[in-house]
Structure 1
């Protein structure tokens, strides 16, 4: 590519011929640039090479980031090999599992914005010619996607892979069950400790289809990661080889001048929505795709997203929607096999960083990674690739277990994901709580009954930063007496590990005086997943007509007094004041 004198060698494409690199423009304008680079140990030859920023989330924050230094280093070596000059930058992410159930969870979505801002700052201030993002988990990958769209440079993602499952396919969700079993005296401390020891046995993203695994798969589906990158075993040499190849790929993109916007388009985002449905992915994935589209200046419609979901079968039998841990996804052929299975509903003509289309990349990958490899590993468990990633004519479900509801309680939409319940119309009695803490007290005290809809409001982006309501849903899910007979409704978010009947992202949120703010205990709520409706259909006196329900909401609004808002400081104060709507992905946006 470049020979260290600023001249091109071994040109891969004519696209970038005559193009002046951003890094070289900065040298011409800034007299101190060269001296400062030399002060970092660069050689004089390095100064004229293309500058590639490696933006990594490495840190000691959680298993998904603890190993990313080695991934970044291999990407560094790959970039050196093709003649670029890499520079490592860092901004570690936080773990939702560690913040879960505490006030720090309110900072979770805000952390996505911090990561995006830091990566944007690093790319622009370094005068980068291209950026390689190294990340694994929930807010890191979305933050990097948002930053990539703002930078619009040649872009590659080197993904951090997935941790291995524990004994008996055990994954992190098992520890919550174990804790409750210990409290009930069903298991001893030694057994509980053994389950904890086995919950996260290696580095990598948690081995269920939570937000981390969802976002790795979506990054590859968008065309930004090499085929077979998503959910590669985190402790494997294959992950490191992929990282090195990712560095080499970025060098080629810089050489060709192929930018983020040449790869990620409206078609790419629609493909990602299709994949989100087919994997039974986290509802957070929808929020992050909306944020990416907003950042790109692309239209994003929840109604259109639901049309995509409705026509896409659930093909992956992976927890929490299915039976198996998510580390088996890669062993079964990963995204390339899924793309092959989705040939009738996905647009295989979308471009990827390989220089080939999504469909061609998947085809080529499956040719060099024969089925026999997958069959050999999975056969040890009595499984086949088709056990994990089903063919289109034999899906886990004909339609994905995710949808968008509308109605008099959610004029702006709400997202529903159901793992155990069917999609029939169901009626619930409202139990209304202004925040998760009071709801948790009722759940723990066993004061929730079958038929209750637990409404947790004032947890939206403008109220408290849109924290997840994971503990509420999980405590209900492990209580077999009510698990399938209650629902949770919220203007907050849900964890990717959520089980049960859960309706979140209700918009407008209570803090914006949406209809959810007007609900009262005893109201009758209809959740009709099949018809995509979320409606108030009665009060404590009984059911009523649609017109009567609207009239009731209007009367309540006329006398409505909003509760005193929580006072926030620091990052949360900034985020809640600037957070946009759910349809815009709750992206932090300047006031108009």
Structure 2
């Protein structure tokens, strides 16, 4: 019996559900399962989730539960690349969590299944599930298939570079547009979307082997139905997120993220999730693990493969098998098994894509935490995607306050080999929202400068971006961090091997500049982003809205 819906005090709740067409015996006797659907007709990562939700409900009914689907907001960040409003994306993570907390609390669900595919949407639903702490399963939407143009693979991340400087109505541009997104699903690189989908498996929060199933494969439907059945069992077992998301589980996720060359945004999200569940996780954990874990996954941009290839090679379990000596194998997964059980059954079907640790893609690991007088707290570089000649570089600063200013300078030929572009006031409070710096990074590639020009910012990057680019600099410029004190022509040095980010001026000069610095006026003074700017933490603490 479902005690929440028994007795006189529950008469109004029962009446409301009967008004929706649910029968008395279902309301009183079956677990109530909330199906959080981030379906959005205008976002390829979420356009197919309506069908998945229906299949999940079949599984819930078959296992003796009663499903209640409700919506949560979702976006595709690529819809707004190049626009100032891109800064809304990270703050959207908190908006999603608030919505899930609100609906789930009022409707008193016994369990949750959360459907999501993309960058900030996945951690948003996760934050909401952690707050509820009822049995939960995350179901990822999977990746899209790969397009082709003139005999070459085309992924969404290629569009900006392949078409930059071309006329919008040219045949080339139209042809590339037509094939870049062949079907629903997340973009098939190791961008933030797929990085976070894989993190769900590394955290044990989705059914093993299912995170990388392409969106249009029938396997995805079968996995959704299994999840619908499993969540009813989890409610009976009372297996909650707090039972699964331990410190050891998060350390497994960090190891996996570094080994796969994951998006730098994963760091923000894992720290925010750990903070929400009450687990201690800091940049020092990423730093420590990053020094001993090589990059073993050859998915773009660290290699030449796609997420579809990774799935066909054995998916996440096959990658975890190669990492098992570094993992806490006693960690629980939502099936009730341990991670060790999952690894034992895994098989690596492509040893060029998923390498062993003695034959890595890059011995330096996927991510490196940098520190120095320009980043006293931390900064991040995706070291597995940096050309060898740029793993140590220095040059004169070219200083801008917006991504749009940086790309304009590149297009006008004002940026020369050896320069270091600085884009500041784009951090969590400064943007506000910690905007992705995509225009300038794409332009560096399009204009052939990605092997000779560095870029540093207190903003973040898309998981698509690669090369000698440093982000997440903390403290951010808007908070008076050293990045705010950089002047045109200052020499900046980046050394991945030594994990250093240095502004070549004396401490005395730094202090003089600090005394003269005036904090800029806020860019936004009302609405969602104003609220976010007042409440968000710094990037090294996850950039979430917490007190």
Q: Which TM-score applies when normalising by structure 2?
A: 0.96
Give 2:408's aligned residue: 441
Structure 1 CA distance for aligned equivalents of residues 50 and 17 of structure 2: 22
**Residue of structure 2 aligned with 1:531, choices 498, 508, 529:** 498
Which of 73, 82, 86 aligns to 1:105? It is: 86
Alpha-carbon shift at residue 346 of structure 1 (Å):
1.6
SS at the partner of 1:535?
strand
2:157 aligns with one of 173, 195, 198: 173
CA distance in 1, matches of 2:42, 2:73: 7
Q: SS in structure 2 opposite 1:287?
A: helix
Aligned equivalent of 1:36 = 16
SS in 2 for 1:526: strand
Q: Is the 8 A contact 2:72 2:96 kept in 1?
A: yes
Classify the secondary structure of the residue corresponding to 2:143: coil
Question: Can you list the C-alpha shifts for 1:491-544, whole angstroms capped at 9, x where unaligned?
Answer: 111010102111111001111111111110111111111111111124xxxxxx
Q: What is the CA–CA distance in structure 2 between the aligned matches of 1:401 and 1:43, rounded to whole Å?
A: 53
Which of 86, 90, 112 pairs up with 1:131?
112
Q: Deviations over 1:122-178 (max 9, x none)?
A: 221110111100111111111011111111110101111110011233211222233
In the TM superposition, 1:282-431 aligns within 5 A as 282-364=263-345, 366=347, 385-418=350-383, 419-422=385-388, 424-431=391-398
| Alpha-carbon distance in structure 1 between the residues aligned to 2:394 and 2:3 | 59
Matches within 5 A, 1:53-68: 53-68=34-49
Contact 1:227-1:365 within 8 A present in 2 as well: no
Distance 2:324 2:104 in 1: 36
Rg larger for: 1
Q: Deviations over 1:367-389 (max 9, x none)?
A: xxxx6xx5xxxxxxxxxx11221
Q: 1:74 pairs with 32, 55, 59, which one?
A: 55
Flag the 1:564–1:22 CA change in 2: closer, same or farther, 3 A: farther
User: Hey, what does 2:434 align to over in structure 1?
Assistant: 466
Which residue does the alignment assign to 1:154? Answer: 135
Q: State the 1:569 CA deviation.
A: 2.4
CA RMSD of aligned residues (A): 1.7
> Is contact 1:426-1:526 (8 Å) kept?
yes
* DSSP-derived class of the 1:89 partner: strand
Deviation at 1:563, TM superposition (A): 2.8
Aligned to 1:223: 204
Deviation at 1:438, TM superposition (A): 1.9
Q: Which moved more, 1:73-82 or 1:391-400?
A: 391-400
Structure 2 residue runs without a partner (length 5+):
none
**1 CA distance for matches of 2:4 and 2:460?**
41
Q: Distance in 1 between matches of 2:540 and 2:196?
A: 18
Q: Report if aligned partners of 2:101, 2:128 keep a CA contact under 8 Å in 1.
A: yes
C-alpha distance in 1 between matches for 2:204 and 2:463? 23
Aligned to 1:275: 256
Q: Is the 8 A contact 1:23 1:51 kept in 2?
A: no
CA distance in 1, matches of 2:341, 2:380: 33
**Aligned mates of 1:307, 1:121 — CA distance in 2:** 37
Question: Contact (CA 8 Å) 1:223, 1:352: kept in 2 or not?
Answer: yes
State the alpha-carbon separation in 2 of the partners of residues 22 and 222 from structure 1: 31
2:46–2:141 contact (8 Å) kept in structure 1: yes
Q: Verify the 8 A CA contact 2:403 2:439 in the aligned structure 1.
A: no
Q: Does 1:92 align with 2:73?
A: yes
* Residues 77 and 561 of structure 1: CA distance in aligned 2, closer, same or farther (over 3 Å): same
Call closer, same or farther: CA 1:119–1:79 in 2, change over 3 Å.
Answer: same
Residue 169 of structure 1 aligns to a residue whose secondary structure is strand
Whether contact under 8 Å (1:71, 1:158) holds in the other structure is no
User: Residue 249 in 1 paired to residue 225 in 2?
Assistant: no
TM-superposition CA deviations, 1:47-75 (whole Å, max 9, x none): 12110100110111311000001111111
2:177 to 186, 193, 196: 196
The match for 2:478 among 511, 526, 532 is 511
Distance 1:415 1:581, change over 3 A: same
1:28, distance to aligned residue in structure 2 (A): 5.7
1:544: which partner in 2? none
Question: After the TM superposition, which of the residue ranges 553-562 and 257-266 deviates more from structure 2?
Answer: 553-562
Q: How many Å separate the matches in 1 of 2:201 and 2:393?
A: 37
Is contact 1:317-1:396 (8 Å) kept?
yes
Flag the 1:365–1:69 CA change in 2: closer, same or farther, 3 A.
farther
Q: Is the 8 A contact 1:169 1:324 kept in 2?
A: no
Structure 1: segments with no counterpart, 5+ residues? 1-5, 7-20, 375-384, 539-548
In 1, Cα distance between equivalents of 2:97 and 2:8: 28
In 1, are the aligned partners of 2:143 and 2:188 still within 8 Å (CA)? yes
Q: What CA distance in whole angstroms lies between the structure 2 residues aligned with 1:394 and 1:181?
A: 39
Distance 2:38 2:486 in 1: 41
Q: Secondary structure at the match of 1:311?
A: coil
Is 1:475 the counterpart of 2:443 in the alignment?
Answer: yes
